[in-house]
Amino acid sequence: MELGWLLWGAAVLLLLHLVMELSPAVNFAVRIGFYCLLCLVSSVLTVPVCLIVNGGRSVKNMKIIKTVLKTFKYLLGVRFEVKGLENFNMDGPAIIVSNHQSILDMMGLMEILPDNCAQVAKKELMYAGTVGLVIYLGGVIFINRKSTSSAKMVMSEVAKTMASDKVKVWVYPEGTRNCTGDLLPFKKGAFHLAIQAQVPVIPVVYSSLTTFYNPKKKLFTSGKIKVEVLPPIETKGMTSDDVTALTDRCFHTMRETFFRLSGRPSEAKDSS
């Protein structure tokens, strides 16, 4: 009887594998479903560990979350090639800005996340069940993107926290996910914050995912992501009048790096 169930199970798995090979849409749905299941299961298992080890909400819980999430790449066939991690080796707070492409960015984030670093995320994620709970416990800073005044108040508090607790803050200046093979114009909030707190900006760039992950084309296969941490940009002495120039400088530097890492250096030159 047990042998029969094993044979049936093997047959179903083989059939699913064949269908996934023949249909990109099925392959995409199965892999996305598996990724979401990994997030759900890992969050359920990680929440009690965070509560026991650190007693509740703390940026220290990110070490625990990072350890768990770094296993995802092996299960999904995603490889990372990282350069410039030494640029995180600086005392004191900083603003880290990076491009934001897809739900897979969480793996890229956890691959290089420095210690004592809090992320800024949209408020809606807080209500995503146990996933929302675990990132809340990890000290993620939630902002209401629909309310400018609310977001400014939160960022003002973040500036105070950076100064008192010496934490780094990770922000996605594009403001939303963007898997088009280019960068969206940067919002200025992160750069206002950096100048207000007089802390360096550390740009981080991830190469394009479009060769192996593209929701519009129902594409999701194995692939490699190149990551580069760029040298810090000092803001000491800058004022609010310098926000636009700082934003533009980071955008152009990151966009050029993005095209280079993605194997399209000519596009960066043509668009400058």
pLDDT at 10: 53
Q: What is the mean predicted confidence (pLDDT) over 169-198?
A: 91
pLDDT at 219 over 70: yes
> Residue 142 and residue 136: Cα distance in Å, rounded?
8
Q: How many CA atoms lie within 13 A of 168 on its CB side?
A: 22
Domains and their CATH numbers in the chain: 2-271 (3.40.1130)
pLDDT at 246 over 70: yes
pLDDT at 58 over 70: yes
Q: What pLDDT, in 10s, does the model give residues 82-115?
A: 999 999 998 889 999 999 999 999 999 999 999 9
pLDDT at 17 over 70: no
DSSP secondary structure of 195-207: HHHT--EEEEEE-
Residues contacting 202, CB < 8 A, separation 6+: 87, 88, 94, 95, 96, 97, 168, 229, 230, 231, 232, 233
> Residue 50 and residue 60: Cα distance in Å, rounded?
9
pLDDT at 21 over 70: no
Task: Tally Cβ neighbours within 10 Å of residue 243.
Answer: 20
Higher pLDDT pick, 161 / 208? 208
Q: What pLDDT, in 10s, does the model give residues 147-177?
A: 666 667 777 778 777 877 789 999 999 988 8
pLDDT at 231: 97
Could you tell me the pLDDT band of residue 42, with boundaries at 50, 70 and 90? very high
Could you tell me the pLDDT band of residue 272, with boundaries at 50, 70 and 90? very low
pLDDT at 232: 97
Joined tokens for residue 184: 């969206």
Higher pLDDT pick, 61 / 216? 61
pLDDT at 178: 87
Contact indicator for 77, 221 with CB cutoff of 8 Å: yes
Contact indicator for 50, 61 with CB cutoff of 8 Å: yes
Could you tell me the pLDDT band of residue 143, with boundaries at 50, 70 and 90? confident
Q: Which of 21-30, 45-54, 109-118, 201-210 has the lowest mean pLDDT?
A: 21-30
Residues contacting 8, CB < 8 A, separation 6+: none
Higher pLDDT pick, 14 / 123? 123
Count Cβ atoms within 10 A of the Cβ of residue 246 and give its class: 0-12 exposed, 13-18 middle, 19 or more buried. Answer: buried
Cα distances (Å, whole numbers) of residue 106 to 35, 124, 143: 11, 16, 18
Does the reported pTM lie above 0.75? yes
Joined tokens for residue 36: 């979401």
Which helix (DSSP H) or strand (DSSP E) does residue 62 occupy?
Answer: helix 61-69
Rounded to 10°, the helix 189-197/243-261 angle is 120
